[in-house]
Amino acid sequence: MAAPTVPAAPVIGVVAGLVLAAGEGQRLGTPKAVIEVDGERLVDRAVRTLRDGGCRDVYVVLGAAPTEVPGATVVLNGDWRTGMASSLRSGLSALPEDADAVVVALVDQPGIVPTVVARLVERMRSGSPLVVATYGGKQRNPVGIARPLWQDVAAQASGDVGARAFIAGHADLVTEVECGDVADPADIDTADDLRAHRGRRTGSARFEELAWSETPMGPVSLRRRRHPSLQVDVYEAKLGEEFLMSSLFTVAEVELARLGLAELPAGRDLDVLVGGLGLGYSARAVLDDRRVRSLVVVEAVADVIDWHQRGLLPDTVGLATDPRVRLLHGDFFAQAAATAGWDPTGPGRRFDAVLVDIDHTPDHLLHPSHAGFYTEAGLRALARHLNPGGVFALWSDDPPDEAFGDTLASVFPRTQAQVVTFDNPLTGGQSANTVYVAVRT
């Protein structure tokens, strides 16, 4: 058989999604597409995963259980009894003409999350024509296939072997994408599988992606994983592949609030602003101070606010509903530089404390647009938003930075860089962060 002709680096623009869901679920006793897990049909979950992962159009191949699927185009496969191959061929032939590639997923893998799809899409757009998700180095689903390969993939599929026949015979075209750190590829074939999945979801799951969304800074996700040695649930926020925050390491976030508010006099009602919501530990610690009358939290990613409004983070449940709290979607840094400040209901409003936990350090930024904040001019603009005697506190992942300390001291008459140490259960030793604290006259 002649080798398929594939451009050295195919140009991938539009990526479609394809869910194979035509089977009758013989061992399960009911078609898998219509089974509900956590209040959602498997077919709807698969469609959402593909769409949230970056697929513009999603097509679903059905057979044994024709049904409407919101947000997707249904393709009926009259030959579904012959196996998965006929569904793959039906689906590929139905995809829109402007689709440059497709991510093919199976309906019975509810542990696949949008991050898996996003990784496959990204790798195809980097020039790989055939990408396969792997878990611990083992090839599973989904798979991504560039259009020039569709005809050969369809021709070599047979019975219940879909794209695997083509993949096995063209190892030179395959790019493996490891996804075992974010997803569980276990499929649901039997009632025991379904019970096991539901059991994992109720508290013992190794991994669960709770939320995922695309933002101007990149994809932001919230995930929960079971730490194998500590046997605790760990909640982590990520921006792309970069970790933003973990519930394993919260001491410095709490200390940011404690050290900052400790500089303010007793017996005074406090109005506090926190820049960066994250997992909510700094904001929660602010509310633990009985002097706090009001708390405004400014967060650049609306979905992060949604995590708290939906109660996805057990350690900070109730933060979003506290009557002292307002969670505002906005650009903290742009608003710090503006005269109007952060509170849209009170332009120019001043605060007793501004506590910031957004960038990793003053020179390791989540976005280049933040750089101006850490200059003398940026800090002077910030100081104008503080009441007399007000406090600015900043978290940093690095040891104290002398240059930034000098810049801080050029604006504020009293400053300190407090090193915060804490136990690191991953290394068995200690780690440290820095909290900068500055007081305005």
Q: Which domains does the chain have, with CATH numbers?
A: 15-202 (3.90.550.10), 251-439 (3.40.50.150)
pLDDT in single tens digits along all 441 residues of the chain: 556 666 556 788 899 999 999 998 888 778 899 888 876 899 999 999 999 888 999 999 999 999 999 999 999 999 999 989 999 999 999 999 999 999 999 999 999 999 899 999 989 988 899 999 999 899 999 999 999 999 999 999 988 888 988 998 999 999 999 998 888 898 888 877 777 666 554 444 567 788 888 777 778 889 888 776 777 788 899 887 677 888 989 999 999 999 999 999 998 999 999 999 999 999 999 999 999 999 999 999 999 999 988 888 878 878 988 899 999 999 999 999 999 999 999 999 999 999 999 999 999 998 899 999 999 999 999 999 999 999 999 999 999 999 999 999 999 999 999 999 998 887 778 899 999 999 999
- Among 321, 245, 233, 241, which Cα is nearest to 277's? 245
Q: Which residues contact 258 (CB under 8 A, 6 or more apart)?
A: 285
Q: Tell me the sheet residues that pair with 321.
A: none
381-404 pLDDT, tens digit per residue, is 999 999 999 999 999 999 999 999
Residue labelled with tokens 């989540």: 366
Other beta carbons less than 10 A from residue 269's beta carbon: 10
Q: What angle, rounded to 10 degrees, do the helices at 376-383 and 402-409 form?
A: 50
- Phi/psi for 334 (5° steps) reads -65, -40
Across the beta sheet with 218-226, the strand order is 207-215, 218-226, 233-239, 242-246
pLDDT in tens, 180-223: 888 889 888 887 777 766 655 444 456 778 888 877 777 888 98
169's CB contacts (< 8 A; 6+ apart) are 156
Residues β-bridged to residue 15: 101
pTM score, two decimals?
0.58
Q: What angle do CA 242, 248, 251 make, to 5 degrees?
A: 105
Task: Report the alpha-carbon distance of residue 73 to residue 86 in Å, rounded.
Answer: 17
Burial class of residue 38 in the structure, from the number of CB atoms within 10 Å of its CB (0-12 exposed, 13-18 middle, 19+ buried): exposed
Confidence (pLDDT) at 102 = 98
Asked if the peptide bond before residue 216 counts as cis, ω within 30 degrees of 0, the response is: no
**Residue labelled with tokens 């792997």:** 134
Structure tokens at 43: 């077919």
User: What pLDDT was estimated at residue 204?
Assistant: 40
CB 441 within 8 A of CB 413: yes
What confidence score (pLDDT) does residue 203 get?
A: 41
